[in-house]
Amino acid sequence: SMPSEMLLKVFSYLDAVSLLSVGCVNKHFYHLANDNGIWLKIYSSCFQPKRTIWTMKSEQTEAVSLDCAALCDRKPGYWKKEYIFKQIAAVKTRVMRLVKPVDPYTGLPCRNKEAMKASDLSWIIVLKDKSGKEHVMEKANLSFKDTSVTILWYSTDWPCLDILSTLKLFGVTPLLPDQNRAPSKSGPRHRSLIAEYHLANLTESSVAVGADKLVQLFCLNPGLLVGLWKEKNEIAFVMASLHYHQLLERSTLGSATVQYALPPNKPVLDDVDPEYGLHDYSLHLDMHSGSCTYLCGTFKSLFCRRGRVD
């Protein structure tokens, strides 16, 4: 096999995402890809100004790093962790800044779309068949509205419906966010489970909500539409409508197997009036299908009786 010194030389030309991917090949590559010298170079190029001393030697110019002291007494992988933590913190700060302004009508962040783009957030569905094999569907169209985002997955290569058992909806973000480069689907990514649906006996166990000459629509709770070809009884498309309320948290803070647990929502009651629990709140209603909006309005000065407050 190739000597470790030569492998380290090759690895020194890789970027951070490629280094993380190479480290997944085997244990030997993992240890080499944790080299502090390589990661310190990446860290310094991103977060610190370059500081070098130029010396002449036999008509060649060499850069002598001033950061050699930073390599001493550091465990392997130290600068890798520092780089990842700083990248994540930078993206998190940017996202939090975007979601801070709140729309007075909807009570939701005004710049959800920009925040999702800043975090490189996307959504995928994973179809699992009865043998345990997973089929990942990534190609999707997004439609952003005032209060939700609609995601449409379409393909000509859906697996056979009869062999499918479950459908899982995930939020996906890069494991290593990098604002200086475009997101890569081949790099390591984090999955956050949003919802899981059972597809066994789909036509019998789900509610048919519409049809045309070619496709029949079935609704799966929560918020999923599945279109089936009438002639073949196979999947034509899948559509999900995701409300913005804590969507970033649900799409990023869960794991591949466990959904993010939403904090309990306890409305503040008005104890002055024994009959009415909530006073003077607003309701924003947004009804749409894909790019077509049917109703969008805000109702103000509403109240609710105490017995109807969950």
- The 10 Å CB-count burial string (b at 16+, else e) for 66-85 is ebeebeeeeeebbbbebbbe
Tell me how far apart the alpha carbons of residues 32 and 80 are, in angstroms, rounded to a whole number.
Answer: 12
Return the DSSP state at 257. S
Each residue of 44-71: pLDDT tens digit? 888 765 444 444 444 443 443 445 556 6
Category of 32 on φ-ψ map: left (φ > 0), alpha (ψ -120 to 50) or beta: alpha
Specify the pLDDT at position 186. Answer: 62
Question: Are 236 and 138 in the same domain?
Answer: yes
Q: Provide DSSP, 124-152.
A: EEEEEETTS-EEEE--EEEEE-SSEEEEE
Question: Are 246 and 124 in the same domain?
Answer: yes
Question: Are 248 and 117 in the same domain?
Answer: yes
Does the residue 220 lie in any domain?
yes
Question: Are 123 and 74 in the same domain?
Answer: no
Rounded to the nearest 10 degrees, how much is the dihedral formed by the CA atoms of 214, 218, 224, 228?
Answer: -30
Specify the pLDDT at position 140. Answer: 87
Look at residues 87, 120, 141 and tell me which one is the last residue of a structural domain: 87
Question: Are 29 and 120 in the same domain?
Answer: no
Does the residue 238 lie in any domain?
yes
Rg (CA), the chain: 26
Question: Are 123 and 229 in the same domain?
Answer: yes
Does the residue 8 lie in any domain?
yes
Does the residue 267 lie in any domain?
no
Question: Are 172 and 210 in the same domain?
Answer: yes
Reading the block at residue 280, the tokens are 């003077």
Q: What is the pTM assigned to this prediction? A: 0.74
Does the residue 134 lie in any domain?
yes
Specify the pLDDT at position 16. Answer: 86
Specify the pLDDT at position 126. Answer: 96
Reading the block at residue 273, the tokens are 């009036």
Query: Are β-strands 224-229 and 215-220 bridged in parallel, bridged antiparallel, or unpaired?
Result: antiparallel
Question: Are 184 and 222 in the same domain?
Answer: yes
Specify the pLDDT at position 93. Answer: 86
Which residue range is the domain that position 120 belongs to? 112-252
CB 91 within 8 A of CB 99: no
Specify the pLDDT at position 180. Answer: 52
Q: pLDDT means per 10 residues in the chain (310 residues)? A: 87 88 88 89 75 46 47 79 85 86 82 88 93 90 88 90 93 74 66 93 84 91 90 90 90 92 72 64 73 77 69
Look at the chain and report how many structural domains it folds into: 3
Does the residue 107 lie in any domain?
no
Does the residue 215 lie in any domain?
yes
Tell me how far apart the alpha carbons of residues 133 and 280 are, in angstroms, rounded to a whole number.
Answer: 52
- The amino acid at 181: R
Question: Are 83 and 133 in the same domain?
Answer: no
Look at residues 87, 120, 146 and tell me which one is the last residue of a structural domain: 87
Does the residue 149 lie in any domain?
yes
Note the Cα 303 to chain centre separation in Å: 36
Specify the pLDDT at position 218. Answer: 92
CB 17 within 8 A of CB 187: yes
